[in-house]
């Protein structure tokens, strides 16, 4: 059995009386890609924010590589090896694209002692190449299209050399062609290559997506959330045929 990288037990989050995350438990294995699906407002982004320490859990625990990380600061969680991309992207718009990535390459986890600016710049360039936008490195982030902003988000996340990468709707707002290109980039990143700690194996991933057909092509396993509760966890084709999942998306009676 593969070693578990992330272990979530009985996780809960309430805002006032609203239970946005409800007793969620699951494990993620090393090198696994897990898709996280569910209708709008199901609590997908909230779950990623809890893992990243942006929100504090009301109940339960989150363990990463055996260490309890619930309640830690986001900065510390990034330094342990988890990174995420955001659904609402907020780059430093007036800075060049490469500077946006250099900032993440300078986090303590990724930066080696005595590293020079040139070396950090080269690393940021590598991350941009991985994400497929190295030809635009010197342009301002404000000039990027929605699709390329998503690529910048990925470059910024891999600049921290994560072992676990959380992607919030990487295909959101992309054309079918851009979606295909993004799916290819994600697969290539997962395969690994020559980038810092990612030299041999790429990161494990949790991918939140509404484009189920594309997600099913890259995910090993799918988790489905509805009203903050995990209603399915299994192989992609099994989960999308699960009556509870169909009901969550389309209401009672299905399609
Ligand atoms: N800070 C907050 N305060 C109060 N309610 C919140 C807060 N953040 C999220 N919620 C509520 O929690 C629920 C889940 O929101 P979340 O953003 O996690 O959903 P989601 O599954 O990511 O949806 P989408 O597919 O639309 O991105 C929603 O009802 C939302 O209004
Ligand atoms: Mg969301």
pLDDT per residue, tens digit, the chain (255 aa), is: 556 899 999 999 999 889 999 999 999 999 999 999 999 999 999 999 999 999 999 999 999 999 999 989 999 999 999 999 987 888 899 999 999 999 999 988 887 777 777 788 998 999 998 888 999 999 999 999 988 999 999 999 999 999 999 999 999 988 999 899 889 989 988 987 665 545 567 899 999 999 999 999 999 999 999 999 999 999 999 999 999 999 998 776 554
Domain count, the chain: 1
CATH number (domain holding residue 183): 3.40.50.300
Q: Tell whether 255 is covered by a domain.
A: no
Pocket test for ligand 1, best of 43, 171, 223 (most atoms within 8 A of CB): 43
φ, ψ dihedrals at 137, nearest 5°: -50, -35
Confidence (pLDDT) at 195: 59
Nearest to 11 by CA among 22, 20, 19: 22
Helices (H), 28-111: 44-51, 74-80, 97-105
Q: Tell whether 46 is covered by a domain.
A: yes
* Ligand 1, atom 16: closest residue by C-alpha: 43
How many A from CA of 209 to the centre of ligand 2? 9
Q: Tell whether 136 is covered by a domain.
A: yes
- Protein residues within 5 Å, CB atom, of ion ligand 2: 44-45, 87
93 is in which domain, residue-wise?
Answer: 4-250
Provide the whole-model pTM: 0.93
């Amino acid at each position: 059995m593969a070693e578990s990288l992330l272990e979530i037990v009985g996780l809960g989050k309430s805002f006032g009386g609203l239970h946005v995350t409800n007793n969620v438990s699951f494990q993620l294995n090393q090198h696994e890609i897990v898709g996280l699906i569910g209708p709008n407002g199901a609590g997908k982004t909230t779950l990623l924010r809890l893992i990243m320490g942006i929100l504090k859990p009301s109940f339960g625990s989150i363990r990463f590589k055996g260490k309890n990380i619930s309640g830690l600061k986001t900065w510390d969680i990034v330094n342990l090896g988890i990174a995420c991309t955001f659904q609402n992207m907020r780059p430093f718009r007036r800075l060049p694209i490469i500077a946006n990535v250099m900032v993440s390459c300078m986090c303590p986890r990724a930066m080696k002692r005595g590293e020079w600016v040139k070396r950090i710049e080269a690393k940021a360039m590598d991350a941009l190449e991985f994400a497929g936008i190295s030809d635009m490195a010197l342009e301002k982030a404000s000039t990027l299209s929605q699709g390329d902003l998503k690529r910048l988000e990925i470059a910024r996340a891999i600049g921290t050399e994560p072992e676990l990468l959380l992607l919030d709707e990487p295909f959101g707002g992309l054309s079918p062609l851009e979606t295909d290109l993004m799916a290819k980039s994600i697969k290539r990143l997962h395969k690994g290559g020559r980038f810092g700690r990612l030299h041999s194996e790429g990161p494990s991933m949790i991918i939140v997506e509404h484009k189920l057909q594309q997600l099913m092509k890259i995910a090993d396993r799918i988790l489905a959330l509805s009203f903050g509760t995990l209603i399915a966890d299994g192989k992609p084709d099994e989960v999308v045929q699960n009556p509870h999942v169909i009901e969550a998306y389309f209401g009672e009676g299905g399609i």
